[in-house]
Structure formats: C-alpha cells, structure tokens
Amino acid sequence: MDTYRAFLAIVISFLILIGYQYFFIGFGSDQPVPEEGAPPQVQTLPAADQTAAQQTAAQISTEKKTENKVAEVAVPEQEAGRPAEEVTVETNLYTAVLTESGAAVKSFVLKDYRMELEEESPGMQLVNTDEKEGLPMRFSWGSIAGDRQLYSRDRAQVDFADGKGELTFGASTGGVAISRNYVFHEDSFLIDLQVHVKNQSGQVLQGAAVLHQANRPFQTITAASRFLFSGPAAYVNGSLEEFKAKTRKEGPHVIQGPMDWAAYEGTYFISGILPGEKENLLKMEGGGEDETAPVSMSLTGPLDTLQPGEEKLYSYRLYIGPKKLARLQEIGDNLDQAVNFGWFDVIAKPTLWLLNFFNSFFNNYGIAIILVTILFKVAFWPITQKGLKSMKNMQKLQPKMVKLKEKYKSDPAKMNQEVMNLYKTYKVNPLGGCLPMVLQIPIFFALYKVLLQCIELRHAPFMLWINDLSAPDRLWIGFDLPYLGGIPVLTLLMGGSMFLQQKMTPTTADPTQAKIMMFLPVVFTFMFLNFASGLVLYWFINNLLAILQQQMINRQKKA
C-alpha cells in the first residue's frame, strides 16, 4: 500500500502540473456536439457549406424579405486623386488614430500599458494589421456599401466636453448614404458607435449590417503564452465560445444566435464588439497554421429591407483595452466572461479580489500574494494539523505493521484485515495525510490561472530582481546561462524549501520509497523554472508555513 501511495503521489503531480496544460487547455476549444434530436444552440459550419456572410444572414430573418425587386448597385472605387486623411483621438487612457478609408481604427495605443517591461518601451499597440489585411471596425451594408469605402470626416480633431468627444464619418455610394458616429469617453475604453444607413435611391434595397474586425496576436507568442487562449471568441446563447488555433486550421467557421459580444482576445487585452441587435452571425477565418497570421471576423446582423427614403440605425459598443475584470464587469453584457478561469472560476475570482484588496494597502502584488498565501494557510490550518498528526501516528505504527506483514505474508486478506484493525485501535486514518495536499490543488490552480491571465500582475514588480510577477524569475549575472538565461533564485529557494519540508514530514515508506519521494522536489523545481514568479512565490511561502507547522507538531510530540 505504501509503494502504491508513493508512486501515486508522483503520478498525480505529473498529471496535474503537466497533463492539465494539454487536456484542459488543449481540448477546451472544441465545439460541443449536440445530442441527437436536440435543437442546436450554436452552429459551426465547415467551409465547404458556407456562403458569403450576407447570404447566410438572410437565413436569420427570412420573414423580412419582400416581394419587391431589389436593386443591384455596384460598389464604386474610392474617389480618385484624394488620399484618405486621418484623425487622432487623445484620451486619458489611449491614443487612437482613425482613417477615412473605411472609417476604421488604424492605431490604438494604450498609455498605461507598455509593449515590454522596459521603461523606454512604447505603449501597448492593439492594432497590428494594415489596410491591405483589413483594419478593425470597418463597416459594410450587404453588397451595396463596401467596407473599404472612402469616407469624409466632419472635423479635423476631436474636442472633449463633459468627458465625451464625437467624430462622424460620412459616405454616399450606390444610392446608400452611410453616417458613422463615434463617441469617445475620456476615462473609459468603451466607445459608442452609431451607424445610420439611408436609402437615397428610388428602389427597394436589401442588405445586412456587417462590422468587421481584423487582428493579429497583440504580443509575441512565448512558450508560456502558448498554453493560454488567443484568438476570436464570442458570448453566444449564454455561454463563452473560444476558437483556438487548431479549430481555425479547419477553415472558416460561422456561429449564429443571440450574441452579447464578439471579440479578438489576447492573454491580457481584447478588441471587442457589443452589438445593440443581439441576433447576429459571426464569421471567422485565418490565423490557422501560422499563429502570427491575421484573423478576420465579421459580425453580421439580420437582413433588412429599406424602402426609398427609409433609414436604419445600427448601434454598437466597442471595447478596445485591457482585460481587467473590474472594468469588464462595469460594462455588463457578460463581457467579464472574457476573463476565463475555467473550472477554477469560483476560487480564482475571490482570490483576485483579495490580491487587489491587499495591493490597495501595500501597492505591491508580491506582498499581496504572501498575505493571500498566509490567509489560505490559516483557513486550512486545522485540517492540515489533523493530517500531519495522522502521518506522525502512522510513522509510530510502522514497526507494528512490519510485524503484521511478516506474520501474515502468506495470507494477504488476513494481513489487510489486521492492518485495518490496527488503524482502528490506534484511531489512525491512513488517508489523513493526503487530505492537505488534495485541498491545495484547486487553490494552486486558481492562483496559477490568476497569475497568468490577470492583467493586474502583468509587469507588476515585487522586490530586488523580481520585476514582473507574471514572468519567470531570473537574476541576471551579466551573461546568459544555457536554457535559463539568468539564475532562477526564487525557484531554487522553493525547491530547497520543498526538500526540507519533505525531510521533516513523517513517512511510513521504506528507504527505497523514501528516496523516490525525496526526488519529488527536484522534479517540481524543474517544472517551476518557467512558471510565473508570483506562483513560485506562493509555493515558496506555502512551503515555509508548512515547515513551521510541522516543527510545531514535532515539538508538541516531544513535550
């Protein structure tokens, strides 16, 4: 039984810390397959069966079709001889550049977030495509008004009054007049967009409003970020749908239904559309084999019919900025679900709240992590205490168990019966020592998700050489070490504390099994080398507290 427990501990450790990455993150992007006969909530169509987005949109609202003849109007080329002009919008949070070409967003630089850790690093740029690949927030109406139409702006600069500033673009083509009005807020990443489409022709026109996105990954893909989601996502039919790279390799995908938002997500940033008309169709393509290739998204509303002189208003809210949970919750429409902690959401979100609470006093997330670790340890102290005592009692029973095994070695059934009687006589729970470790697993992964995904920890310094709690800790010594770069001081301290804890923890294992268990700290040290330094800090402090608790129990036994 002891051999089984020893190897089981090692296997579980590997499954949790390595297998989690593959099974829970790697497989999490597949679309659910509805049961036979159940009405589909979200449809994902293969490329071979897809039509153009506006044709598919017609299926959403076929009841709106009219018997009148629809005019076919070609989209004209951009006005010859006039280049598209640009307007720069300056707020307290970002600097945006909008272009008359498609009335799209050409640049969006965040002021409070840098591309890299270095002070001289430029602000975070959230538009990484050009006009040829497509810019975010282009608009089209069916096949009549193209998304690359040249617009005219109503002003050369945006002035703010009462915290708001407006910018309007207008264009007229093929008998359709389009007016796009942006409303910016000085202290918010939220942008209001209203699009007026008016039929100026003498014929009945049909079309569906389409708002386009085009994005590349916001930052360079690293070994750690490969395990985190980046790509198109949407909140449809009350659930979050994420389309990872392996799904996009299959070709274009289409989903439709009541949609709270559609967005391109990175680990820490998001460029999202919140449509006023909830019933939408979202088409995504690109970014398959090449992880750095642009991904295009088009959000298509229901088919509309405009009589001569009739006008239709389409409303959107745009959020281009950090995936900061508090901000996303304020906006509503389930945008906070973009911060996806998965199974550990129920622990991760309160943990993030605690980290922010302690940080509000100390202005240091490293100290906040230490205080949260202490708080969790205190909360589980009685259970851990009982488990450690059980292990200590198990160690005392070891000589008696050896005698029983020797006495009944030819009768395994009788031996197990006598061992259980021994446990019952001395009131020992053989599984009591495993309980504390089992309880730590969900907390560990909740913190793991928080420290890797929450923007609060991005570029957050602690002390000395630890200047980014979301990155691995490295002490630079003037030259790069092979594979490591710098010395992982905190990780080595964590491994050393785990080794000391292992030495102090009572064990019933024979010498061979004990050596196997002593190898576990070495395994953990190697696995933690590229973990976020904030997570390593948590594990190190947790080990120190466990050592303290074990020392207290040992002294009680001696007394």
* Nearest-angstrom CA–CA distance, 504 and 553: 11
pLDDT of res. 437: 66
Widest CA span in the chain: 103
**What's the full length of the chain, in residues?**
559
Q: Is 37 left (phi over 0), alpha (psi -120 to 50) or beta?
A: left
- If one counts every other C-beta atom within 10 angstroms of the C-beta of residue 550, the result is 21
Concatenated DSSP letters of 291-348: TTS-EEEEEEEEEEEE-TT-EEEEEEEEEEEE--HHHHHHH-TTGGGGS--GGGHHHH
- Split the chain (559 residues) into runs of 10 and give each run's mean pLDDT: 43 47 37 34 36 40 38 40 85 94 93 86 89 89 77 89 91 88 94 93 89 85 64 89 75 86 91 91 78 85 91 95 92 90 84 92 93 87 70 67 70 73 68 65 79 85 88 82 82 89 64 68 84 88 85 66
3-state secondary structure of 392: helix
pLDDT of res. 221: 62
What are the two backbone dihedrals, phi and then psi, of residue 552, each rounded to the nearest 5 degrees? -65, -40
Q: Is 27 left (phi over 0), alpha (psi -120 to 50) or beta?
A: alpha
pLDDT of res. 12: 52
3-state secondary structure of 176: strand
Structure-block tokens of residue 262: 């559609």
pLDDT of res. 63: 37
Residue type, 438: V
pLDDT of res. 445: 79
pLDDT of res. 347: 86
* Nearest-angstrom CA–CA distance, 292 and 225: 13
Cβ-based neighbours of 8, under 8 Å, separated by 6 or more: none
Closest by alpha carbon to 283, among 31, 28, 56? 56
In terms of DSSP bridges, do strands 253-265 and 279-286 run parallel, antiparallel, or are they unpaired? antiparallel
pLDDT of res. 430: 62
- If one counts every other C-beta atom within 10 angstroms of the C-beta of residue 209, the result is 27
Cβ-based neighbours of 271, under 8 Å, separated by 6 or more: 108, 126, 127, 136, 213, 215, 263, 264, 319, 320
* Nearest-angstrom CA–CA distance, 160 and 412: 83
